[in-house]
Amino acid sequence: GEEKAVFEIPDHYYPDKYKQLTSTISNRFGGDAGRTIPVRNIALPNLALPMELPYNDQFSLFVPKHRVMAGKLIDIFMGMRDLEDLQSVCSFCQLRINPYMFNYCLSVAILHRPDTKGVNIPTFAETFPDKFMDPKVFRKAREVSNVVTSGNRMPVTIPVNYTANDSEPEQRVAYFREDIGINLHHWHWHLVYPFDSADRAIVNKDRRGELFYYMHQQIIARYNLERLCNGLARVRRFMNFREPIAEGYFPKLDSQVASRAWPPRFAGTTIRDLDRPVDQIRADVSELETWRDRFVQAIESLSVTLPNNRQMPLDEERGIDILGNMMESSIISPNRGYYGDLHNMGHVFISYSHDPDHRHLEQFGVMGDSATAMRDPVFYRWHSYIDDLFQLYKYKLNPYTDDKLDFPGIRVSSISIEGPAGANTLGTFWELSTVELGRGLDFTPRGSVLARFTHLQHQDFTYVLEVNNTSGQGVMGTVRIFMAPTHNESGEPLGFDEQRRAMVELDKFTAGLRPGNNTIRHRSLDSSVTIPYERTFRDQSARPADPGTAESAEFDFCGCGWPHHMLVAKGNAQGYPVVLFAMISNWAEDRVEQDLVGSCNDAASYCGIRDRRYPDRRAMGFPFDRPAQAQALSDFLRPNMAVRDLTIRFSDTTRPRQQRR
């Protein structure tokens, strides 16, 4: 078992209402304590601003006022001289600062301070499980925790499909929207790439605007593929802000902090002008339209208006990155005053559409929080529209020329897939997994509770590429693997342009190519898009034994990455047809010179690499990020590319999770 430690907090750190309880609090934790850690008594920084958010309110990064408060708190945490001062100010904050905001800001600081590499951030699902799971689980969990002694507990089972029944067609993809791992990935992504801080370096990461565009573009491509597998049309973008939103969503989540349910969004709700003094928000829907028009205007003219009225060109090299920062918007937007805050405020308008003037005293819905937004069908409608705006820019670029696409001397003669589901077949099924609850719930002193839930899974497989190198010398190549649907919802074949936008990145890796014939074998488990199950859920049994090492730091920090269990779309029982695409590009032109030792670099495609540059010089999504003069994918192919028809066959069985690796 873990040794318990007691923190001895200076008396005046306790809020007044706890003062007389101080001795009780320390006694309560002190009973079976292993050691005592005195907390340094420091001159406390001014915390007035972050303390303005009531302790029991919801916290949203999308709400401008909350953003400013969080930015201040992050700066305070970043500014502490050393770990002991940081710990001291945290112990002061813990009972006063809104717990969601506290957790977010401390996590950002731990991720970015040089002296906290290797410090464990408990996985968010364990800290605030109410954002990810059906509340019934917690009631049951409390019962279990009270009556059963630690060590031989039965896991509590989270029901499948608990937010709607089969009358709601959108429910067919609820397993995707409500997947705990997908929501954790999204939350981590926004943690790694915050859009606000007084410390510009935290925001101004290499190609962060482009990654905002690309990671969300890939979410939409994956969601659309998932919808097609389930007989649903691709998602309709939310582009007319005055039109009612057809899809409703009833989250059935309780907030532990605010001790009330997350509000629903009824079908047919229209976003309306906001006037919520309590959140210091006053904004009209027409502002979204103005910002949108200016954004489109910048793309039309390939030029951005700066605050001093000068123009900045949107060139091929940096255009999409600048647009990403402008759209989100982040503090490194070239002109936030003029181009506004379109994407973030879209989240805000939607999340308050049930109570735009606060007359019902309701808080924001799930769209207002990056930990829960992906549960709501409207998330995908909003982000499809955002993606359309980015695509307007991509359509302004010239198609890639031969010298960008070709790799002279390299021929990919075939790509195929091997695995237990059969040649060129991917097998999917339901899997039953267990995750530990507890940290965010008051189960002390009895320890934690296990929750069991069902999620999609696929059988492991291996890519096999046959490559001929006639260049006469050994070369390095970058292998880029994508998957896409072949037909639309009406059964018509997809033209090149629709298919390129539907391409789902599966993997990207470097391979050495000897002169002559080469066979490249690469495991699905090693995907550059995903992180293993153990990392998504921070299964403590998988934690490297030796804390403080580079391995354990990686394990603790690198929660960003698509969950591996969602690498492949569900397919269907008959076998859903998709096309697999592989390209080998010239690594000499792709490479980024940098040292990767000790950083987490195995899910770089959607998350980048911590403290490093994005490890691929090409545009994200290359070679499908731009239109081309091709009617069909077959017209686009070059000798260094290959395709293969695949089938994804779903078997409606539920199997207990098995150890992979």
Q: How far is the CB of 656 from ligand CUO (least distance, A)?
A: 32
Among 125, 124, 91, 110, CA closest to 22: 91
Q: How far apart are CA 273 and CA 306, in angstroms?
A: 28
- Contact in structure between 476 and 512 (CB atoms under 8 Å): yes
If the CB atoms of residues 126 and 369 are measured against ligand CUO, the closer one turns out to be: 369
Residue placing its CB nearer to ligand CUO in the complex, 343 or 500 = 343
DSSP letters of 208-238? Answer: HHHHHHHHHHHHHHHHHHHHHHTT-PPPPP-
Long-range contacts at 370-373 (CB < 8 A, ≥ 24 apart): 370/61, 370/62, 370/186, 370/187, 370/189, 370/190, 371/124, 371/128, 371/131, 371/132, 371/183, 371/184, 371/186, 371/187, 372/131, 372/132, 372/183, 372/251, 372/253, 372/262, 373/186, 373/347
The structure tokens listed for 181 are 């791992």
CA–CA distance, 575 with 577 (Å, rounded to integer): 6
Tell me how far, at minimum, the Cβ of 386 lies from ligand CUO, in Å: 7
State the nearest-atom distance from the C-beta of 328 to ligand CUO, in Å. Answer: 7
Is 72 one of the binding residues for ligand CUO (CB under 6 A)? no
Q: How far apart are CA 651 and CA 641, in angstroms?
A: 31
Strand partners, 416: 464
Q: Give yes or no for residue 412 binding ligand CUO (CB under 6 A).
A: no
Q: Which residue is nearest to ligand CUO (CB)?
A: 373
Cα dihedral sign, 6-10-13-15: positive
Nearer to ligand CUO, 265 or 458 (CB): 265
Tell whether residue 208 is a contact of ligand CUO (CB under 6 A). Answer: no
Give CA–CA dist 295/42, Å, rounded. 47
For the bound state, the minimum distance from the C-beta of residue 352 to ligand CUO, rounded and expressed in Å, comes to 15
The correct pick among 207, 208, 347, 522 for binding ligand CUO (CB under 6 A) is: 347
Number of residues that bind ligand CUO (CB under 6 A): 8
- Least distance in Å: CB of 219 to ligand CUO? 8
| 127 CB neighbour count, 10 Å cutoff | 17
534 belongs to the catalytic site: no
Token couple for 369: 């929080």
Half-sphere exposure (Cβ direction) of 495: Cα atoms closer than 13 Å: 6
> Of 347 and 626, which has the nearer Cβ to ligand CUO?
347
Q: How far is the CB of 588 from ligand CUO (least distance, A)?
A: 34
Cα separation, 488 vs 497, whole angstroms: 12
CB of 354 to ligand CUO, least distance (A): 19
In the complex with ligand CUO, the residue whose CB is nearer, 386 or 417, is 386
Q: Is 373 in the site for ligand CUO (CB under 6 A)?
A: yes
Q: Count Cβ atoms within 10 A of the Cβ of residue 182 and give its class: 0-12 exposed, 13-18 middle, 19 or more buried.
A: buried
Cis peptide bond N-terminal to 333, omega within 30: no
Quick note: the x/- pattern for ligand CUO over 26-55, rule CB under 6 A, is: ------------------------------
Q: Phi first, then psi: what are they for 490, rounded to 5°?
A: -95, 5
Which listed residue (370, 425, 518, 647) binds ligand CUO by CB under 6 A?
370
Secondary structure (3-state) at 504: strand
Q: What are the backbone dihedrals phi and psi of residue 302, each rounded to the nearest 5 degrees, phi first? A: 50, 45
By CB under 6 A, the residues from 211 to 230 that bind ligand CUO are 216
Contact 348, 62 (CB under 8 A): yes
CB of 649 to ligand CUO, least distance (A): 31
Residue 500 CA to residue 483 CA, distance in Å, equals 10
Q: How far is the CB of 538 from ligand CUO (least distance, A)?
A: 21
Q: Which of 7, 1, 97, 102 is nearest to 52 (CA)?
A: 97
Q: Which two tokens stand for residue 199?
A: 């410390």
Number of helices (H) and strands (E) in the chain: give both, helices first: 23, 20
For tokens 């410090």, name the residue: 119
Residue 125, number of CB atoms within 10 A of its CB: 27
Minimum distance between the CB of residue 216 and ligand CUO, rounded to whole angstroms?
6
Please name the residues in contact with 304: beta carbons below 8 A apart, sequence gap of 6 or more.
Answer: 298, 311, 312, 313, 314, 322, 326, 334, 335, 339
Contact yes or no for 329/340 (Cβ under 8 A)? yes
Pick the binder of ligand CUO from 112, 117, 186, 294 (CB under 6 A): 186
Q: C-beta of 62: minimal distance to ligand CUO in Å?
A: 8
Based on CB atoms, which residue is closest to ligand CUO, 343 or 455?
A: 343
Q: Considering the complex, state which of residue 190 and residue 535 has its C-beta at the smaller distance from ligand CUO.
A: 190
* Residues 334 and 327 sit within 8 Å (Cβ to Cβ): no
> Which of the following is catalytic: 170, 210, 328, 436?
328
378 or 451: whose CB is closer to ligand CUO? 378
C-alpha gyration radius of the chain: 25
The SS3 of residue 463 is strand
- The answer to whether 173 touches 228, Cβ cutoff 8 Å, is no
Nearer residue to ligand CUO within complex by CB, 155 or 368? 368
Please, which of residues 426-485 interact with ligand CUO by CB under 6 A? none
Report the residue number, 195 or 496, with the smaller CB distance to ligand CUO: 195
Q: Which is nearer to ligand CUO, 93 or 342 (CB)?
A: 342
- Residue 371 CA, chain-centre distance (Å), reads 9
Q: Please pick, from the candidates 177, 222, 292, 343, the single residue that binds ligand CUO as defined by CB under 6 A.
A: 343
**Positions that interact with ligand CUO (CB under 6 A):** 186, 190, 216, 343, 347, 370, 373, 383
Residues with a catalytic annotation lie at 328
